[in-house]
Chain A
Amino acid sequence: MKIFRDEIEHIALLARLSLSVEEKELFGSQLNSILEYMEKLKELDTKDIEPTSHVLSLLNVMRDDVPGYSIPREDALMNAPDSTDKFYRVPKIIE
């Protein structure tokens, strides 16, 4: 057993997911068996191995600092569930 019930709740909060009681049960047991399978990575000695974050040896990609095309504001707001003419609207965040 790698993840306990209170940890599931903590991870769900970090991930901004509200889970039902059933989901907590189910994911708890499924994540435990998946993590158990991942334990096999520990068999390998990786002490001096560089981690790979990117498979190609591309260097930083630079460009000139000039303004280019960007999506017009009305297009960017087109899909918003709630918006004013200029902004996304969200529930009140300051008391």
Chain B
Amino acid sequence: MELYRQTISELRDLLDRKEVSVKDIVSSIYQRIDAVEEKVKAFVTITEDKALKMAEDAQKKLDSTEKQSSKSLLGIPISIKDNMCTKGIRTTCSSKILYNFIPPYESTVTSRLIEQGYVLIGKTNLDEFAMGSSTENSGFHVTRNPWDLERAPGGSSGGSAAAVASDECIAALGSDTGGSIRQPASLCGVVGLKPTYGRVSRYGLVAFASSLDQIGPITKNVRDAAILMNIISGHDPFDSTSAPLPVPDFTAVIGSDIKGIRIGIPREYFIEGMDKEIDTSIKDAIRKLESLGAIPVEVSLPHTGYAVATYYVLATSEASSNLARYDGVKYGLRAEGKDLIDTYMNSRAQGFGAEVKRRIMLGTYALSSGYYEAYYRKAQQVRTLIKKDFEDVFKVVDVIVTPTSPTSAFNIGEKTADPLQMYLSDIFTISVNLAGVPGISIPCGFTSNNLPIGLQLIGKHFDEESILKLASAYEQATDWHRRRPLL
């Protein structure tokens, strides 16, 4: 048995029954990394020394408990997207401007993982500051899709998704502003969940677009996503936008009956020109859900066609403001100039990559005097309409079912020359962030050239349980999630 291939719950059993040690598991993971990382390049920083130390601590705790461990991640190897602060461990956002940044504090999500005894395997690659849909915008290197090394893993959490898909860790955390967990999960054939806005604390997540960003799990199956959700969810006094609501046990819905659940099929998501194989797979998946007792209902989200434009006004505006802090004074790269303004301008010119500069320019323009009403305010109003679309549909259905991405994994370099083409690859995921609702992507098939296809399930505000329930029922009735790339 290859330990690196296992899931969180499988390893939990093995560890609690003392059949394996934490060291066995962690060594297995690093052997796997030695074997495949050169091809996949999922990581910015590999934290092996730290991991061995954490593994030792976890083992001590395990040895001191007789019965089952109450800490669900004790000894479990997990990797973290490199835009979440890990105290004392370099956190770069895959940007040259933060190439040497060592956080003096721990993000809330990783604090909670530490409390549960996790083992940090490494910090994963992303599009610089999470701006992109392919991980090609990393300031350091391009991550490759484990299913076809000539193709992109999606993004921006491409490193996390590729690391999970290639068994370089057992699970990972990503962040999702416009699809950055779900789209790479779809393109890499793994499970990715974006929680409701406010469900998970953003404290210590380097801000991109604060009204849209959420952290969530990327895992090998739905149960593992539920396990991680149990840990990372809940109110945090350090994030005033985190919701003071109770957190249910998300694992309780795994394997439960979905009879009578009403699933909405929005006609705007089944459009002319969509990849034929994806269309077929999604329709097959809907039939499968129906055979399990779900009731499909055709619905309409009429403002879907405006989501990408709305998103790129709002996200770039928020980004231009959030990224003002990188000035070469407090941390990161400094490029001296003749005076202070010149130092700011040079530091930012040398530190940021092309896509980040482009978005800062776009956001600055949209917020600048004379244009604010036409762009930013207009987009905020359209956001209200998009949100209302979801509220209306959720009066008649429990969950919305769509493709996660209009295409399977695209070639590296295919979309980099035309930013707008790249932006349109998020067409099915962006509305979910604008409305603030939760969404999950699960594997639902493969194209003829063996590339994964993802099914997206969207729920009501704070109803992650329904999408997890439906996702788990589908997963238990199919085998897609068991397939692994040959590396």
Where the two chains meet, the residues of A that have a C-beta atom closer than 8 Å to any C-beta of B are 3, 7-8, 11-12, 14-19, 23, 27, 30-31, 33-35, 37-38, 40-42, 44, 46, 49-56, 58, 61, 63, 71, 75-76, 78-82, 88, 90-93
Contact = CB atoms under 8 A, between A and B. Distances in A.
B345 A27 contact: no
Given A30-B358, A31-B365, A90 B375 contact: no
B339 to A, nearest CB: 6
Interface of B: 100-102, 104-105, 197-198, 211, 237, 240-241, 243, 303, 305-306, 308-310, 312-313, 320, 324, 327-334, 336-346, 348-349, 352, 354, 357-358, 360-362, 364-365, 368, 375, 377-385, 387, 419-420, 423, 434-436, 461
Contacts of A35: 362, 365
A33 B420 contact: yes
A18 B383 contact: no
B331 A79 contact: yes
Contacts of B375: 38, 41
Contact of A90 (B308, B329, B368, B423): B329
Contact of A46 (B243, B328, B340, B378): B378
Given A90-B329, A91-B337, A91-B338, 15 more contacts: A30-B419, A31-B365, A44-B306, A46-B385, A54-B241, A56-B461, A58-B240, A58-B241, A71-B104, A80-B331, A81-B329, A81-B334, A88-B330, A91-B343, A93-B339
Contacts of B344: 16
B333 A18 contact: no
Nearest to A60: B240
| Dominant secondary structure at the B interface | helix
Contacts of A27: 357-358, 361
A63 B306 CA distance: 39
B237 A17 contact: no
A90 to B, nearest CB: 5
Nearest to A81: B334
B104 A11 contact: no
Contact of B104 (A34, A50, A76): A76
B309 A93 contact: no
20 contacts: A11-B361, A11-B368, A16-B341, A17-B352, A30-B358, A31-B361, A34-B423, A35-B362, A40-B306, A40-B309, A44-B381, A49-B385, A50-B384, A56-B436, A56-B461, A58-B240, A78-B102, A90-B329, A90-B343, A93-B340
Nearest to B210: A54
Contacts of B345: 16-18
Contacts of A81: 328-329, 331-334
B82 to A, nearest CB: 16
A63 to B, nearest CB: 7
Contacts of B377: 51
Given A19-B349, A76-B104, A81-B334, A12 B361 contact: yes
B101 A79 contact: yes
Given A38-B309, A41-B309, A76-B104, A31 B358 contact: yes
Contacts of B336: 91
A35 B364 CA distance: 13
A51 B384 contact: yes
Contact of A55 (B211, B358, B379): B211
B309 to A, nearest CB: 5
A17 B365 CA distance: 13
B211 A79 contact: no
7 A-B pairs closest in CB distance:
A55-B436, A51-B380, A79-B331, A81-B334, A75-B104, A46-B381, A18-B345
A4 B348 CA distance: 22
Contacts of A76: 104
A64 B427 CA distance: 43
B104 A56 contact: no
Contacts of B105: 71
B310 to A, nearest CB: 7
B339 A92 contact: yes
B295 to A, nearest CB: 28
A90 B360 CA distance: 24
Contact of A79 (B332, B338, B343, B357): B332
A55 B198 CA distance: 9
Interface-centre pick from A50, A61, A88 (highest chain B CB count, 10 A): A61
B297 to A, nearest CB: 24
Nearest to B338: A91
A14 B369 CA distance: 11
Contact of A15 (B241, B303, B361): B361
Nearest to A79: B331
A54 B377 CA distance: 13
Contacts of A50: 381, 384
A34 B312 contact: yes
B380 A37 contact: no
Nearest to A89: B329
A50 B388 CA distance: 11
Contacts of A56: 197-198, 241, 243, 436, 461
